[in-house]
A and B are shown apart, each in its own frame.
Chain A
Amino acid sequence: MKDFVDLYHRLDATSGQKAKVDLLASFFEKNANSDGLWALALLSGQLGGRRLNSSVLKQLSMQQAGLSEWMFAECYSVAGDLAETLTHLFPEHELKPLWGSLTEWMKAIDEQRGTKPDQQQAFVLEAWKSMPHATRFVFNKLITGGFRVGVAKGLLVQALSRVAGQDSEQIQYRLTGQWNPNTTSWQELLLDNNNLADISKPYPFFLAHPYSPDVPEENPTDWQVEWKWDGIRCQWVCRNGHSFLWSRGEELITDAFPELADGALPIDGDWVLDGELLPGMPGAWKPFSELQRRLNRKRLSARVLKEVPVGFMAYDILEWQRQDIRMWPLRERRALLEEKLTEWPRIGLSPAWIGDVNLWVQKRQEALQQGAEGIMIKRLDSTYGVGRKRGDWWKWKVEPRSFDAVLTYAQRGHGNRANLFTDFTFGVWDNGELLTVAKAYSGLNASELAELSRFVSKHSLDSFGPVRRVEPLLVFEIGFDGIQKSKRHKSGIALRFPRIFRWRRDKRPEQADSLNALRSMIEDARAPD
């Protein structure tokens, strides 16, 4: 535990990336065992969630410090962090050393979950009494589940790569999936060759670079073009007859899409597909916003399942009969995919064409009609890499579109932008009224933001908490990536990724666009119902 406590505080006091990697590497070097594995699980966010009941902890803290509820609340609001509040409020005391390893502590904490409050309190009190301030803080972070220290995954990968003597792509692959320090070991996760004890394990996603005109044209038969779907990028892992769906954030989302996981499988045997989850059915995809209704729900009702069916568009195969085929060139993976995949009502093969820049331009123009947000251009020789690399895969979105709208509301920013207005609401004309169509947060530079903040302060009509209603005097060009009909919005339209393109100082508010103009853009985009 001591090494981990030191690591935590040292990381917290280090701002340099290289210095952080050094700290991590020397820690893992020394703790290449279950302690290292627990530390890795904690630092990478593999273990989340609150561990012990926070009101139990609060009661214990109040009782030990002899404080009333309001005083605890006062302290909590000043410290802003439960673990820190608990740490500071525990009275200074004679230490009764009770050292254990990080592994022993984590197991002890796990055993406390779900036990009776007084048992939990006795456990925590004994722990607090055994710990100096710095250790108590880390322990409290562990039991409150708010374990966050500024370590990016990339730094962990670098450190592990150094300690394990493997390249970072290999480490990234090893860290995917749902491994757990209780069920695997340092050796198994990071060193063993057969790493498939976890049958759900996905591969790190390979990501495309935004298209730039310097993509070499070379031989026109070198490139494959696909639609860039506007859904959820997803790896579908199927091994031993079990399906697992992984989102690009490496979250397991199987439960949200039972019709895929429990439905007919596109391929027999064991395999891993890369593709896109889309609302609707092949040939009749619905707008992305429909998918939101399927996510972040505790329980899926039969109604939502019926109203928002989901399908899968496959575009790559990464594993076949337990063989990792990411090193095969794309043309061979594609051939295998085409040969093996059976299309079902919910499962389609994402179409692909081979051709040069003329084809790219043509397909990109057709993208919106297909319900896609652009095209993907992939080199036929390309392997399936790790992370975002320049050269083999490119994404080329449809030109973002824009309209002119009037600033109607402004809201203050947070943190170090609390003195500025940073969140803006815009309206377009409809029967002589401004109807809200977009909220945008980004797109202005610092001096424009400051100028706009001064304008808002001078021209406020009303205020509602942090929000000001502003005199409708300023016009901005608002860009967006997608436009759809929406029943939820008064304006009847929903924009995807609206942002401020520029401040149209040359336009007067009455020159801003009308709702009708926006409606006509929906027809362009054609979202089949």
Chain B
Amino acid sequence: MLSLRPEGLYCERGDFYIDPWRPVARAVITHAHADHARRGMGSYLAPFFSKNVLKLRLGKNIHLDTLAFNQKHYIRGMALSFHPAGHIPGSAQVRLEFQGEVWVVSGDYKVRPDGLSHAFEPLACHTFITESTFGLPLFQFPEQNTVFDQMEAWYQRCTLAGDLPVVLAYSLGKAQRVFLGLHKKGIPVVLHSSVWETHEALRKNGFGLPEAKRWYARTHSNELPVLIAPPGAARGGAFLPKRPHQLAAASGWMHLRGMRRRAGYEMGFVLSDHADWNGLLYAIHESKAEQVWITHGYSDALSRHLRENGLKAQTLETHFGQLDDENE
């Protein structure tokens, strides 16, 4: 039903590509991160809840159609539907069904609910195409509430020291998750402008996010808020506050000490929008798939592991996961 072409993952029956990496006539998009939703496609078909952020990122004038979750869209007898992937707000898995055969393309996903994105829906299928960003048993992540507790303790230490706490988080998905986690604890938060724009786009798209304050370098307040900024802001340095601050990153990669140390962050919060090892195994198990194709991440290790456990599994070379800034 699907095959790999130089442009991306191609469906011949529907004549469209899923998350193509080269310009094509018809693109089906799982979510708005830059390695999945690229510019230059003739038309886009995406889940309704990703509409505003897609336009924010790709331009207002793109030719975009949307579908509600679970809504079936028929193309030449094939049913296409989007189902929540739990990765970020508006992210979906793509389910294709033709004459009783079902394929599912996971896009990026996580199986544990984050309290904001629509929760991951396990889908039964014959062929499951899954990501493997954290596809090693090394990656077993803590519950997000534990992580928010750590963040709260860190915030209090920063305030005591008089340092502005800065959390680096990808502007779409992670930033809102951090925002909500802190907001629920009554900790004041301000958003870097690109994070704020995404926040607003999601609010207007129907997500129940509280209103947020935008950060200005000159803002003075007695109470120290947490500043949420995209990781690129720290690299360029230009957006970093002049005042004393402490840098923390929120990402699944912070699970590895070496990763955090090399990046030069003082603090790392293990907060991932991708399934960890157990999450991947859970989704694969629930799919009851006869064959599993594994894309970006530790695909070789995961497919070997699955093969050793009696599944038909193989690596699929895609271009996903190659734009660092946005894929986690």
Question: Of A74, A89, A133, which contacts B301 at CB under 8 A?
Answer: A74
A522 lies within 8 A of chain B by Cβ: no
* Cβ distance B154 to chain A, nearest Cβ, rounded Å: 8
Pick the residue among B137, B142, B257 that contacts A71 (CB under 8 A): B137
Q: Which residues from chain A contact B62 at a C-beta distance below 8 Å? A: none
Q: Indicate if the CB atoms of A81 and B255 lie closer than 8 Å.
A: no
Nearest chain A CB to B245's CB is how many angstroms away?
A: 12
A68 touches B308 (CB 8 A): yes
A339 to B328, CA, bound (A): 74
If the complex has contacts A19-B161, A68-B308, A80-B258, are A13 and B137 also in contact, measured as CB distance less than 8 A?
Answer: no
Q: What distance in Å separates the Cβ of A76 from its nearest Cβ neighbour in chain B?
A: 9
Classify the secondary structure of A's interface with B. Answer: helix
CB distance from B219 to the nearest CB of A (A): 24
CB contact between B138 and one of A12, A85, A91, A92 (< 8 Å): that residue: A85
Q: Does A75 contact B (CB under 8 A)?
A: yes
Interface size class of B (residues with CB under 8 A): 10 to 19
Nearest CB in chain A: distance from B115 CB, A: 21
Q: Which of B235-267 contact A (CB under 8 A)?
A: 255-258, 266-267
Q: Which residues from A are CB-within-8-Å of B58?
A: none
Residues of A within 8 A of B305 (CB): 71
* A88 and B255 contact, Cβ closer than 8 Å, known pairs A74-B136, A75-B136: yes
A residues 67-97 with Cβ under 8 Å of B? 67-68, 70-71, 74-75, 78-81, 84-85, 88-89, 91-92
Question: Which of B140, B255, B298 has the most chain A CB atoms inside 10 A of its CB?
Answer: B140
Once A13-B267, A71-B301 are accepted as A-B contacts, the answer to whether A92 and B140 lie under 8 Å apart by CB is yes
Asked if A15 is at the interface (CB within 8 A of a chain B CB), the reply is yes
CB distance from B87 to the nearest CB of A (A): 22
Give B138 Cβ to nearest chain A Cβ, in Å.
Answer: 4
Is the beta-carbon distance between B267 and A67 smaller than 8 angstroms?
no
Interface size on A, residues (CB 8 A): 23
User: Which A1-30 residues have a C-beta within 8 angstroms of B?
Assistant: 12-15, 19
At the interface, yes or no: A65 with Cβ under 8 Å from chain B? yes
The answer to whether B256 and A84 have CB atoms under 8 Å apart is yes
Find out whether the CB atom of B142 lies under 8 angstroms from the CB atom of A133.
Answer: yes
A75 touching B138 in the complex, CB below 8 Å, given contacts A13-B267, A19-B161: yes
Contact residue among A15, A78, A92 (Cβ-Cβ distance under 8 Å from B136):
A78
Among residues of B, the one whose C-beta sits closest to the C-beta of A150 is B261
What A residues does B304 contact at CB under 8 A?
Answer: 70
Interface centre among B257, B301, B304, B305 (most CB of A within 10 A): B257
Interface membership of B215, Cβ < 8 A? no
Q: Tell me which residues across on chain B come within 8 A of A91, comparing CB atoms.
A: 140
Given contacts A13-B266, A14-B266, A19-B161, contact A67 B257 (CB under 8 A): no
Find the A residue at minimum CB distance from B301.
A74
Report chain A residues within 8 Å CB of B138.
75, 78-79, 85, 88-89
Is B293's CB within 8 Å of the partner chain A?
no
Residues in A whose Cβ lies below 8 Å from that of B301:
71, 74
Contact A79 B137, beta carbon cutoff 8 Å? no
CA distance A71 to B277 in the complex (A): 12
Residue among B136, B139, B266, B301 having the largest count of chain A Cβ atoms under 10 Å = B136
Q: Is the CB of A78 within 8 A of B140?
A: no
Q: Which of B137, B161, B267 contacts A89 (CB 8 A)?
A: B137
Given contacts A79-B258, A84-B256, A84-B257, contact A65 B266 (CB under 8 A): no
Residues from 471 to 493 in A contacting B, C-beta threshold 8 Å: none
For A12, list chain B residues within 8 Å (CB): 257
A463 to B142, CA, bound (A): 46
The residue from A19, A70, A81, A133 contacting B258, defined by CB atoms under 8 A apart:
A81
In A154-203, the 8 Å CB interface with B consists of none
Q: Give B114-152 as 1s and 0s: 1 = Cβ < 8 Å from A's Cβ atoms.
A: 000000000000000000000011111010000000000
- Which A residues lie within 8 Å of B258 (CB)? 79-81, 84
Question: Judging by beta carbons under 8 Å apart, are B256 and A79 in contact?
Answer: yes
CA–CA, A110 to B137, complex, Å? 30
B137 and A65 contacting across the interface, CB-CB below 8 Å: yes
Given A88-B140, A92-B140, A81 contacting B266 (CB threshold 8 A): no
A71 vs B305: C-alpha distance when bound (angstroms):
8
Q: How far is the CA of A79 from the CA of B261 in the complex (A)?
A: 12
Q: CA of A74 to CA of B256 in the docked complex: distance in angstroms?
A: 14
Within 8 A of A (CB), among B10-27: none
Contacts A13-B266, A13-B267, A84-B257; is A75 near B137 (CB within 8 Å)?
A: yes
Chain B residues, CB < 8 A from A88: 137-140, 255
Nearest 10 Cβ contacts at the A-B interface: A75-B138, A88-B138, A74-B301, A13-B267, A80-B258, A13-B266, A75-B136, A15-B266, A79-B138, A89-B137
Name A's B-contacting residues (CB within 8 A): 12-15, 19, 65, 67-68, 70-71, 74-75, 78-81, 84-85, 88-89, 91-92, 133
14 residue pairs bridging A and B, Cβ less than 8 Å apart: A13-B266, A71-B136, A71-B301, A74-B301, A75-B136, A75-B137, A78-B298, A81-B258, A84-B256, A84-B258, A88-B138, A89-B137, A92-B140, A133-B142
Known: A74-B301, A78-B138. 7 other contacts (CB 8 A): A12-B257, A14-B266, A71-B301, A75-B136, A78-B256, A84-B256, A89-B137
